[in-house]
């Protein structure tokens, strides 16, 4: 038997295997008009291919909880009925294929309002589909980004409510997992790190103050998300600015608090909060961060980052380094990677479309 293809149960939800798809923005939703930020045919085809490929859980890309919370004008959003309906089509199909549909809810903070990556990814102003970003402090991401608006306490609390409203819509759309995006230098991650959070009120300064917003978002989402369904949280374990930034030890402390507030699994990534940072990448380079959180807090974790081979993924799960693996670019290259992994690991048949039965 393969540990990678054992079911994973969180609360009342059973995910059929431990090969999961990490959220990856597609920057392919309409940027203007009545269907702004609504999932279309590209999103359906993209996610459907990974579901028919045997992925156990698919986490849809960072989905803005407000227009100003999107990374780009072409990001998905979840603040109106049209967006809810567009996502329902995808969630329903994933469910039909035996894949658990999940969605990542996000606010981009000071990194909002940028162009699509293949068009350079530069910041966009109000004269080019863009807007002025907001952040914990008036600290731009880099010299090319504008100085963001410093959020007031009232605006911070309003954004926590927007996360809850989007989670409620996600449930209506048929999603069974919600992940709160607290990583990669977006708004929640900006609050966590002293590099980007220079506030002197109840949301800045000490560790307890800097994690306050993250916990308020979790609490707001948990009030509307069903008790029997799991809630995930994505974190950058380090912003690679130690000892002056967010550290792995900070992540362990946060993980223990998140568990107390109703988070069921930590999706452990790293980086993204500062430009031009030296990161020692390599196969599975972020896995030790996930392992440390799991061993020191007991909170289930998913590992991500240059996990590309079936044997590598099997070792991570079988060895107790993580409870699941989240694949990103590898699933872009190979939508049916889970089926290949099952064959190579001798895991037997992975449930899939009857139409493809002759290829089993």
Collapsed DSSP state (helix, strand, coil) of residue 215:
helix
Q: Is residue 343 classed exposed, middle or buried when 0-12, 13-18 and 19+ CB atoms within 10 A define those classes?
A: middle
- Which residues are identified as catalytic? 186
Whether 193 and 239 have beta carbons less than 8 Å apart is answered as: yes
Cis peptide before 243, with omega less than 30 degrees from 0?
Answer: yes
Two tokens, residue 230: 């799991």
Whole-number Cα distances in Å, 192 to 66, 198, 205, 213, 304: 21, 10, 10, 8, 20
CA distance 227 to 231: 9
Of the candidates 43, 190, 160, the one whose C-alpha atom is nearest the C-alpha of residue 103 is: 43
DSSP structure string for 55-78? -SEEEEEEEESSGGG-SSTTS-B-
Q: Is 107 helix (H, G, I), strand (E, B) or coil?
A: coil
Q: Residue 355 half-sphere exposure, CB side, CA atoms within 13 Å?
A: 3
């Amino acid at each position: 038997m393969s540990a990678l293809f054992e079911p994973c149960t969180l609360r009342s939800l059973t995910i059929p295997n431990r090969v999961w798809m990490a959220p990856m923005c597609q920057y392919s939703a309409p940027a203007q008009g009545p269907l702004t930020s609504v999932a279309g045919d590209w999103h359906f085809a993209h996610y459907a291919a990974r579901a028919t490929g045997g992925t156990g859980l698919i986490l849809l890309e960072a989905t803005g909880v407000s227009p100003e919370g999107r990374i780009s004008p072409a990001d998905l959003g979840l603040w109106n009925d049209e967006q809810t309906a567009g996502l329902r089509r995808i969630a329903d199909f994933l469910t039909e294929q035996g894949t658990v549909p999940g969605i990542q809810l996000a606010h981009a903070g000071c990194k909002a309002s940028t162009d699509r990556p293949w068009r350079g990814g530069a910041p966009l102003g109000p004269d080019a589909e863009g807007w002025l970003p907001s952040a914990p402090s008036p600290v731009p991401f880099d010299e090319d980004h504008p100085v963001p608006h410093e959020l007031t306490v009232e605006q911070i609390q309003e954004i926590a409510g927007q996360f809850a409203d989007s989670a409620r819509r996600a449930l209506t759309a048929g999603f069974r997992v919600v992940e709160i995006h607290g990583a990669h230098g977006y708004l929640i991650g900006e609050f966590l790190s002293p590099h980007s959070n220079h506030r002197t009120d109840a949301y800045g300064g000490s560790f307890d103050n800097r994690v306050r917003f993250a916990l308020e978002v979790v609490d707001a989402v948990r009030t509307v998300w069903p008790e029997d369904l799991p809630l995930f949280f994505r974190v950058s374990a380090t912003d690679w600015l130690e000892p002056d930034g967010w550290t792995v030890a900070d992540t362990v402390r946060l993980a223990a608090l998140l568990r107390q507030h109703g988070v069921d699994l930590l999706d452990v990534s790293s980086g993204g909060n500062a430009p031009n940072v030296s990161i020692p990448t390599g196969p599975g380079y972020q896995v030790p961060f996930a392992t440390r959180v799991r061993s020191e807090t007991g909170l289930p974790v998913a590992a991500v980052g240059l996990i590309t081979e079936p044997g590598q993924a099997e070792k991570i799960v079988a060895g107790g380094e993580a409870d699941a693996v989240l694949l990103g670019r590898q699933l872009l290259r190979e939508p049916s990677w889970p089926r290949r992994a099952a064959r190579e690991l001798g895991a037997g048949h992975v449930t899939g479309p009857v139409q493809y039965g002759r290829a089993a």
